Each structure stands twice: as structure tokens, then as C-alpha cells.
Structure 1
Amino acid sequence: MKKLLDFGKKALFYVRVLSGYEERRIRSYRLQLEQRVQQAQARRAAINKVPEQVILSEVRRMVEEMQALNKKLEETEAAVEDYFKPLDKEAELIMKMQLQGEEKTSEMMMKALEKQASLQQVEAEKNASKHQVDNSETNLNESEMMEEEKTLKEMLKALQQEVLLEKADAESSDNVHQADKSHIDLTSASTTTPK
């Protein structure tokens, strides 16, 4: 019985081989294996791409956060500038008023000095016309007039230097105000930036 079953199995196998059934079954099995290998390779490639996608998504997220921070910084800078605009205008008006006042006082001083110089020149001319008797006396008067003129010129130069120094001080105080303003802008911007 066992031999009969073995013979039947062998006969059935030969029939399948000769009919092509076994070959078709082997081919289909081979195709299934190839499909499984291709699917495994596709999964492997997808798994290899996952870290790249994660890195790209992280980079995108960081770029978006940086853009949001830049936008907030620009908004805070604009708010600080808007806050300090009236103060800047007031400071400019005060500086202009101070400069105008200093210019007026310097002009008045220059006019007064010019008047004083012209009066002294007229007096010197009167003295010179009265004392033309003696050449030696006139030489002395001329030397005195020259000395007076020199002193007047020195006084004018000194006053001009004082006026220039006052203007330079005013400009430097304006620069100091601008530097203080920029320092205030920086400190306020740093305190208002999000952490």
C-alpha cells in the first residue's frame, strides 16, 4: 500500500511536470518572491529617506521661527521709533532755539565790538589831528593807536573763538543727545525682545 501511494505520488508529479503545471507554479512562486523583494527594497528606500525628511522639516521649522523673530524685532523697533519721535522733535526744537539764541548773542557782541572799535578809531583820529604838532608826539600816538587796534583785534579774535567754542559745545551736546537716544533705543530694544 505504501508502495502504491509512493508510485501514485510520483505518477502525479510526472503528470504535473509534463503538463507544465509544476513549471507555472514555480514561476508564480518566483514572481511572488521577486515582488516581495521589490516591496522590501521600496520600504528600505522609504526608511532611508525618513531621516532626510525629518532634517528638512526641522530646518523649515527653524527658518519659520527665525522669520517670526525677525518680524517681531522689526515691529518692536518701529514701536520704539514711534515712541521716541516726539522726543526727538522736541530735542531738535530746543537745540535750534539754543543755537539761534547763541547766534543772536554772538552777533550782538560782534556789533558792540565793532561799534567800540569804530568809536576808538574815531577818537584816535581826533587825537591824531589835535596832536600833529610834533612828529615824535604823533609817532607815539600812532604807536598807541596801533597798540589799541592790536588789542581790539585780539579781543575780536578771542570773542570769535568763544563763539566757535560755544557752537562746538552745542553740536557736541547734540551728538551726546543722539548717542543717548541710540543707547536708549538699544536698551529698550533688548528689553522688549522675546526670550
Structure 2
Amino acid sequence: MNKLLDFGRKALFYVRVLSGYEERRIRSYRLQLEQRVQQAQARKAAINKEPEKIILSEVRRMVEEMQNLNKKLEETEAAIEDYFKPLDKEAEIIMKMQLQGEERTSEMMMKALEKQASLQQVEAEKNASMHKVDNSEANLDDSKLMEEEKGLTEMLKELQREVLLEKADAGSSDNMHQSDKSHINLNPASTTTSERS
């Protein structure tokens, strides 16, 4: 009986092969396998693309956040500029006032220096004229001193003559010799030097 079953199976298989049924069945199975492989590859490609999509979506999200942050920064910068505009104007006014004050002080300093220089020049001229006057007065004083010295020397000479005459009247030669010595001691040059000292 088993043999009959095996023979029947083989006969059926041959009939199927000869009729083309088995070939069609193999092709359909092959097509199903190819479709499954294609689906698996598509799923694999989709799975492989998922990280790229995730990364791209993250990058897009980060770019959008950066753009939003840039917009906010620009808005805040504009607000800060608007807020500081009056302060900048006041600072410019203060700087201009300070520069004007410094220019005024420098002008005043220059005028004061010019006045001081002119006063020093006038004082120098006065000192020079006073020095000339002092020199002329010193020359006058020297001439007066010379005249006084001459007068004193003449008086001394007259006194010496009187002394000599008195001693000559006494008639002693010793006294005359002493008078000569006193005459030598009372030399006009020595008296003038003693007076000058």
C-alpha cells in the first residue's frame, strides 16, 4: 500500500511537472520570496534613513532655534540702542563741554604764561636798567670817594706842614728826623687804603 501511495505521489508530481503547474507554483513562490526580500530591503533602507531623518530634523530644529535667538538678539540690541541713544547724546554733550572747558583753560593758561613772560621781560629790563643805574651810581660814588680822599690827603699834608713848622720853630734836629718818620708813616697812599678797608 505504501508503494502504491509513493507511486501515486510520483505520478501526480509528473503530471504536475508535465502540465506546468509545478513550474507556476515554483515561480509564484519565488516571486513571493523576492517580494519579501524587497520589502525587507525597503524596511532596512527606511530604518537606515530614519537616523538621517532624525538628524536632519534635529539640525532643522537647531537652525530654527538659532534663527529665533538671532532675531531676539537683534531685537534686544535695537532696544538697547534705543535706550542708550539719549545717554549717548548726553555723553556727547558732556564731552563737548569738557573739551570746550579744556580749550578755555588752555587759552587762559597760554594768556597767563604770555603775561608772565612779558612781566619777566619787563622785570629783566628793569633789572638791567637798575644795574646800569647802580653801575653809574657806583661810578659816582667812586668819584666822590676819590674827591674826598684827595681832600683828606690835602688836609693831612697841611697838618703835616703845620706840625713840621712847629717843630722847625722848636729848632731841634731830632724832632725833625722824627717828623720825617711820621711823614713817611702818614703817606697818602697808606691812608687811602686804610680808609677803603
Report the TM-score range of the alignment, normalised by the length of the smaller protein: 0.5 to 0.7
CA RMSD, Structure 1 to Structure 2 (Å): 3.1
State the distance in 1 between where 2:23 and 2:119 align.
137
Decide whether aligned partners of structure 1 residues 6 and 137 sit closer, same or farther in structure 2, where only a CA change above 3 A counts.
farther
Gaps of 5+ in 1: 139-195
State the match for 2:51 in structure 1. 51
- What are the residue-to-residue correspondences of 1:65-80 with 2, within 5 Å? 65-80=65-80
Deviation at 1:116, TM superposition (A): 3.4
Show the counterpart of 2:147.
none
Corresponding residue number in structure 2 for 1:129: 129
| Offset of residue 134 of structure 1 | 5.1
Matched, 1:100 2:100: yes
Q: Deviations along 1:55-97, whole A, 9 cap, x unmatched?
A: 2211211121012112211221121012111211111111211
Counterpart amino acid of 2:65? E
Aligned to 2:84: 84
Query: Which one has more relative contact order, counting CA pairs under 8 Å at least 6 apart?
Result: 1
- The alpha carbon displacement at 1:6 in A equals 7.4
**Alpha-carbon separation, structure 2, partners of 1:137 and 1:8:** 172
Paired residue type of 1:75: E
**Letter aligned with residue 119 of structure 1:** L
Structure 1 residues 136, 49: closer, same or farther in 2, change over 3 A?
A: farther
Q: Does 1:36 align with 2:23?
A: no
Cα deviation code 1:29-76 (max 9, x no counterpart): 222212212211211221122122112211211121012112211221
- State the alpha-carbon separation in 2 of the partners of residues 24 and 32 from structure 1: 12
1:192 alignment partner in structure 2: none
Letter in 1 for 2:48: N
TM-score by length of 1: 0.59
Partner residue, 2:152: none
Matched residue count: 138
CA-CA distance at 1:124 after TM superposition: 3.1
Q: Which has the larger radius of gyration?
A: 2
Matches within 5 A, 1:154-193: none
How much identity, in percent, do the aligned residues show? Answer: 91
Cα 1:104–1:53 change in 2 (3 A) is same
> Which residue in the other structure is 1:23 paired with?
23
Distance across 2 between alignment mates of 1:137 and 1:75: 90
SS at match of 1:132: helix
Distance 1:136 1:60 in 2: 106
The one-letter code sitting in structure 2 at the alignment partner of 1:97 is M
